[in-house]
Amino acid sequence: MALPVQRCFEDLGVPLSEVPFCVIDLETTGGSPTGCGITEIGALRFRGGEPDGTFHTLVNPQQEIPAFITILTGITQAMVIEAPPINRALPALLEFLGDAVVVGHNVRFDLSFLNAAAERLGYGRLPNRSVDTYALARRLLRSELRDLRLGTLAAFFRSPVTPNHRAFEDARATADVLWGLLERAGTIGITHLEDLLQLPTARGGAHYGKIRLADSLPRRPGVYLFRDRAGEVFYVGKATNLRTRVRAYFYGDDRRRADQMLRELDAVDHRVCATDLEAEVAELRLIRAHNPRHNRRSRPAPAPHWLRLTNEAYPRLALARGLRPGEGLLHLGPFRGQAAARLVAEAVWDALPLRRCSGPPGRRAAPCAAAQLGVALCPCDGTLDPAAYQPVVERLVAGVEDDPALLLRPLADKVTTLARDGRFEEAGWVRDRHHALARALERRRAWQALARAGLICAEHPEGGGALIDHGRLVSSWDGSRPPLLPLPDTAPGTPPEVPADPGDAEEADIVWRWLAKPGVRLLEASGELALPARPVARLERVDL
């Protein structure tokens, strides 16, 4: 399934050999940055594994150094009396750090003091990414050492420096530990910064060794397919960065389904896509083609339904399992199942007194229950005049085709009234019906707009371009725009009212959401791309 795409070095991310690291260590008057101060800063900067500068200074904490801190570090009050305070030392340190990745042993402690001082002095929190040698050692060496203290690690990696609770010496020892840990990480395929940053949270279970299956994946948009030992595709996903996304399954994903997928995983196929739009559409098509057992939310609808306004003397909404040309006054859908279709039907019934009974007119001696309650006009007892019923049908058609407010405003008013009366559960039901009907109307409009527009060429200044044919993605590109395909001179014929296939509806929805993004420009179209003048109004927030 993987396409023969020539990979470039940028696909791999930032190699560790090119990453600037700044190893840092602090000595402080206590354990909390809230009430304690910094007494010493030591830092070493490296690029490509070679020294790129050092930074060392005592700092006047402008408070008394506790006796136990002096015993631990050897730093006395007399040693810092003439040292610069943090407001003078910090600007120089920030300039020294630059854009380097900050490294420390239990680096969160050091960064907590630096961030507290930086925020207090108006610099804001440090934007630098960080690597904790303690967390890396816990990931890589837990089973080999009795503890992971800096002194233990320095001795394990034969550092010539013995940590002694002085900032610069401890930073030197931490640097030696870092090089040893990077060498160890390289043996399991960690050669780039993005992978190193995620390594501490990697799952340590029996399936972690399968992370090697992601080694050949590029850092490009696309779709990935998980296969089991029999070669069957059991999961399809999309990603803006294929390598990072697949490796993320091994980094602290505690979902039960993820663990089950890793247990079944035997191979990973992929397809590089030019844009995120292409990846999203490719995911949809592959899910429909393979019906993977772990794609629960994105599976094709098992029993798609439509709502049909029947073409009879007293039209009503009826559930339909398929579309037949010329049958019905109008349709809504497709819906993923009967429950979703019924929710929209209930929304229409809440908005209009549309007929609900299905028996022949005049067969019953008394009106049906809906008619007796006054919520529907029904011909079941033979007393309803067709002329009195026709405005209801016309209002429904007008609400679907032209002015959605005819259907949605009564629902919004009902939600407000019920909420004001304290009937919050009922208000929630009507609110859900309003959302379902609004969504169905939006998707119907978008489908018809794409169908009328025919062949569309559009592009986004940052997200590439796409060629779309009646709502279906034909091709996409990233970067410079390729030569356009010739557009037909004739306008498209009468567009289909609603999609006859749920897959076409899903894809058209994805395409329409992309076209509606800010910045997307329409370059050419064989027809007219437009929506009705009156928009579909979403329900304003109501506190229930």
3-state DSSP assignment of residue 508: helix
Contact 177, 105 (CB under 8 A): yes
Q: Distance between CA atoms of 203 and 198, rounded to whole angstroms?
A: 10
Secondary structure letter of residue 381 according to DSSP = T
Look at the block and give the residue holding tokens 């490719």. 282
The contacts of residue 156 (CB under 8 Å, 6+ apart) are 141, 144, 145, 180
Contact 342, 365 (CB under 8 A): no
Q: Distance between CA atoms of 167 and 175, rounded to whole angstroms?
A: 12
Amino acid (one-letter) located at 151: G
Can 165 be counted among the known catalytic residues? Answer: yes
- The Cα angle at residue 16 between residues 15 and 19, in degrees rounded to 5: 100
Q: Distance between CA atoms of 366 and 388, rounded to whole angstroms?
A: 19
Strand pairing category for 455-460 and 464-469? antiparallel
Secondary structure letter of residue 331 according to DSSP = E
The contacts of residue 4 (CB under 8 Å, 6+ apart) are none
Strand pairing category for 130-132 and 101-104? parallel
* Cis geometry, peptide bond prior to residue 334 (ω within 30 degrees of 0): yes
Average pLDDT along the chain, 544 residues, taken 10 residues at a time? 37 77 96 94 94 96 94 95 95 95 96 96 94 92 89 95 95 96 85 83 66 86 94 93 86 68 91 92 92 77 85 92 84 91 96 90 80 88 89 95 95 94 94 95 94 91 86 85 49 69 90 92 89 86 56
The dotted CATH code for 204-290 is 3.40.1440.10
CATH class of 12-195: alpha beta
Q: Distance between CA atoms of 86 and 452, rounded to whole angstroms?
A: 67
Q: Which residues, in sequence order, are bridge partners of residue 272?
A: 222
What ranges do the domains of the chain cover? 12-195, 204-290, 305-442, 447-525
DSSP string, 45-64: EEETTEEEEEEEEE-B-SSP
Q: Distance between CA atoms of 452 and 491, rounded to whole angstroms?
A: 8
Out of 56, 165, 207, 290, the active site residue is 165
Q: Distance between CA atoms of 98 and 121, rounded to whole angstroms?
A: 18
H runs (alpha helix) in 106-190 = 107-120, 133-140, 150-156, 167-186
